[in-house]
Structure 1
Amino acid sequence: MSRPVALVTGASRGIGRAAALALAARGFHVVATARTVGALEELDDAIRARTGDGATLLPLDLVKEAEQVDAIGPSLLERFGRLDALVHAAGLLPKLTPVAHIMPKDWADSLAVNVTACWRLIRSTDPLLRAAPAGRAVILTDARAGEPLAYWGLYGAAKAAQHHLAATWAQEVANTPLRVLLHDPGPTATYLRRVAMPGEDAATLRTAEAAGERIAELIGG
């Protein structure tokens, strides 16, 4: 494929969906992954309406099908022969609870989505991104990664681990054409934000569309 290819996780809604649309508008062929098939199909319809071309849809549960992430890189190589950009927007907001009350399943699920999936994506996509003329990886981070807050311990710990992992990867590829960017979009009007801050006025927040456009700007193209 002559067009640049971008892999976007968490592409069914929020910032991931907006980033997928913004990248498609800039000429990228988008490979979109998320759990919800219907929402991915709606994204495909939106991309077709905007660009005339569809996306490649990859329904995937990062908890239940974690090992399938390992196959993403080889599959992209076989189908497209390239990968130019990765946007890792998938995330899980676990129950907000005191650290002493964190349940084992919530702990395991949060680490699976917020840390392990990132590690598997790095392993799977690193060779293709390094081979790209100007590979870019944008990993969404959060202020909680460096600013502990009561009841946010599980989410903060997982995002801190993800942040550290991605920042280390960025250092390791510093002398290659690949650039790894940790990006905190800040308070954004998304479903996860509404769950965490139910009384907040969404009109005062950045829109997901604006956040997606910013990610596309970081990637370029």
Structure 2
Amino acid sequence: MTKSIDLKGKIALVTGASRGIGAAVALAYARAGAHVILLARTQGALEEVDDKIRAAGGSATLMPMDLRKLADIDKLGPAIFEKFGRLDIFVGNAAVLGTLTPAHQVNPKDWEKVFDINLTANVRLIKTLDPLLRASEAGRVIFTTSGLAEMVLAYWAPYSASKAALNMLGKVYAAETEQTGMKVNLVDPGIVDTAMLAEAFPGGYGGEMKKPEDVVGAYLELAAPGCKRHGEVVCA
């Protein structure tokens, strides 16, 4: 059982916060005392998460955004600074699966979409958020990765390649922030019962699955002010 983590007074941004792991992490952070900025494309789904957070006694700010619109990402850091003056925790969780198909048959537009959201958006996010995170007393960056970043599975080229690249991005960013108060890590949540898993296995996965709530402990640990981990891939 995860020990209690106190995030009182912290400002956290979670992408892909409208459902699945992102929604579960956002709710866990709010319960731990953080004010959570919920970022996803769908306003209605964000409002549902906001309702759960408020019912739990927490607070949130809704930030509807399409992460393929890079110019909007670039405005995010200044907007957060104007409203809150800082950012303590950034969780880069948003991702898409793409089409499962042989590598030689991948549609270029599908490849581009997967990399835009799973990788490039995170590059632009750390660019716009970096000054805020460095200014925090305990800036925390957490990316959601996958075991498929290293495990070879036929037909998963776009998704696997994007997550492998995200792993390296996270580790390089960790090396670059080693002399600061920041901690940068990645979480491999394992097999989780989410909409993406259902998309990948429309006939049903058939194996053991975790619930999104089962993996939030790793995200809480890595967001904690006392976290010592840095540049690691942590299995939830």
User: Normalising by the residue count of structure 1, what TM-score does the alignment of the two structures yield?
Assistant: 0.94
Aligned residue for 1:121? 125
- Once the two structures are TM-superposed, the CA of residue 144 in structure 1 deviates from its matched residue by 1.3
Q: Which residue of the other structure, out of 181, 185, 191, is the alignment partner of 1:187? A: 191
Letter in 2 for 1:8: V
Measured in 2, the distance between the counterparts of 1:217 and 1:23 equals 11
Does structure 1 residue 173 correspond to structure 2 residue 184? no
Aligned residue for 1:207? 211
Does structure 1 residue 58 correspond to structure 2 residue 53? no
Structure 1 runs of 4+ aligned residues shifted over 3 Å read none
Q: Aligned-residue CA RMSD in angstroms?
A: 1.4
Which range moves more in the overlay, 53-62 or 92-101? Answer: 53-62
Measured in 1, the distance between the counterparts of 2:146 and 2:217 equals 18
Measured in 2, the distance between the counterparts of 1:57 and 1:188 equals 25
- Once the two structures are TM-superposed, the CA of residue 180 in structure 1 deviates from its matched residue by 0.2
Aligned residue for 2:141? 137
The answer to whether the Cα contact below 8 Å between 1:6 and 1:83 also exists between their aligned partners in 2 is yes
- Once the two structures are TM-superposed, the CA of residue 10 in structure 1 deviates from its matched residue by 0.1
The answer to whether the Cα contact below 8 Å between 2:187 and 2:218 also exists between their aligned partners in 1 is no
Letter in 1 for 2:40: A
- Note the residue ranges of structure 2 that are not aligned, 5 or more in a row: 1-7, 226-236
Instruction: Identify the structure with bigger relative contact order (alpha carbons < 8 Å, sequence gap 6+).
Output: 1
The answer to whether the Cα contact below 8 Å between 1:130 and 1:177 also exists between their aligned partners in 2 is yes
Question: Among the aligned pairs, what percent are the same residue?
Answer: 46
Q: Which residue of the other structure, out of 32, 35, 38, is the alignment partner of 2:41? A: 35
Aligned residue for 2:10? 4
Question: Aligned to 1:210, what secondary structure does the other structure show?
Answer: helix
User: Normalising by the residue count of structure 2, what TM-score does the alignment of the two structures yield?
Assistant: 0.88
Q: Which residue of the other structure, out of 13, 24, 39, is the alignment partner of 2:19? A: 13
- Note the residue ranges of structure 1 that are not aligned, 5 or more in a row: none
Letter in 2 for 1:54: S
Deviation readout 1:53-77 (Å, 9 max, x if unpaired) = 43110001112x2221111111111
Question: Which has the larger share of helix?
Answer: 1
Q: Which residue of the other structure, out of 79, 86, 90, is the alignment partner of 2:94? A: 90
